[in-house]
Amino acid sequence: MPTLDPAWQAWLAENIQRGCSVDSMVAAMEGGGFRRADALAAIETALNPVAEAAPQADYRYDAMPIPADNRIDVGDREVQVLLRCEQPQLVVFADFLSLEECDEMMRRSHDKLVRSTTVNPQTGQEDVIARRTSQGTFFARGEDEFITRLERRAARLMQWPVENGEGLQVLRYEVGGEYRPHFDYFPPTQAGSALHLARGGQRVATLIIYLNDVAGGGETIFPDVGLSVTPRKGGAVYFRYCNGEGQLDPLSLHGGAPVVDGEKWIMTKWVRQGRYG
Ligand code: PD2
Ligand code: ZN
């Protein structure tokens, strides 16, 4: 297989991170002059996080920033802790958002949702992917009072500064929609990561907030530890994968299982080592 140049490596990393389907990436790579077999092999290599993660098998778990209480005061409400896991560091919450706040986020996102696309590095154009897995939209940090309130709450829960957070992202999955297992951190060995790391440093933790109850499927899965979190409206799952030394936790591999019935709406907050933006 020919080696991928840094532009294609960055392109693959970006599109895998965004949950694009293998079919759409193969099609784009064929359009860019790759043979089908070479495209598939390159995608397979990029998707194989086990090899990527191996050097970090000695990940050291330092103290979790989330308070040790069963109910956590986040300023304007109290959040319940339902489950804690030490390795990977993970906490499941109920009542992070009120039901009305979930509805408000879905209402605000509905008209802004756009189909996932892949950026074609040859043409620079956005190609719509054939097998859509989700639709999404972003909210700029501090966009308005409502968003600011939710960001302050997330920062208080995660014990991480608002300034280190990326903007909130809302995703909607329909039946069959999924997010293949991946890491939220930027793989240090991939060329495309440098661009991301230059702004705010590495991602250190994720808070996935469930905006609706899902009729079937759609769990957030951690395949290496056999854990799955069932979406529950207003609830959330936090997980941390970058410690104070900058090591990355291979056990944080996670994905969104296919939705079997109904829709799944989530909101994601990713936080960085340093100030972002
Ligand atoms: O939708 C999910 O459950 C999910 C799974 C994996 C979301 C993310 N990753 C993410 O937003 O990073
Ligand atoms: Zn993720």
Atom of ligand 1 nearest to the CA of 268: 11
Amino acid present at 169: Q
Task: Read off the pLDDT of each residue in 192-207 and give the average, rounded to a whole number.
Answer: 92
Average pLDDT, the chain: 88
For residue 81, CA distances in Å to 66, 157, 178 come to 10, 11, 26
Pocket of ligand 1 (CB under 6 A): 179, 184, 206, 208, 220, 254-256, 266, 268
Q: Which of 52-61, 75-84, 91-100 has the lowest mean pLDDT?
A: 52-61
Report CA(11)–ligand 2 centroid distance (Å).
18
Whether the bond between 88 and the residue before it is cis, its omega within 30 degrees of 0, is yes
Nearest CA among 269, 237, 67, 74 for reference residue 153: 74
What's the 33 CA to ligand 2 centre distance in angstroms? 30
Which comes out higher in pLDDT, residue 80 or 46? 80
| pLDDT, tens only, 239-257 | 999 999 999 999 999 999 9
Which range, of 146-150, 180-184, 211-215, 260-264, averages the lowest pLDDT? 180-184
| Residue of minimum CA distance from atom 9 in ligand 1 | 255
Q: Which atom of ligand 1 is nearest to the CA of 220?
A: 3
Handedness of CA 11, 131, 123, 41 (dihedral sign): positive
Percent of the residues in the chain that have a pLDDT greater than 70, as a whole number: 87
Would you call 158 helix, strand, or coil by DSSP?
helix
Per-residue pLDDT tens digits for 14-41 = 777 666 777 888 888 888 888 887 787 7
Rg (CA), the chain: 18
Here the tokens at position 140 are 């700029």
Q: How far is the CA of 268 from the centre of ligand 2 (A)?
A: 9
Query: Quick one: residue 121, left, alpha or beta (phi over 0 = left, psi -120 to 50 = alpha)?
Result: alpha
Q: How far apart are CA 266 and CA 277, in angstroms?
A: 23
What is the distance in A from the centroid of ligand 1 to the CA of 6? 26
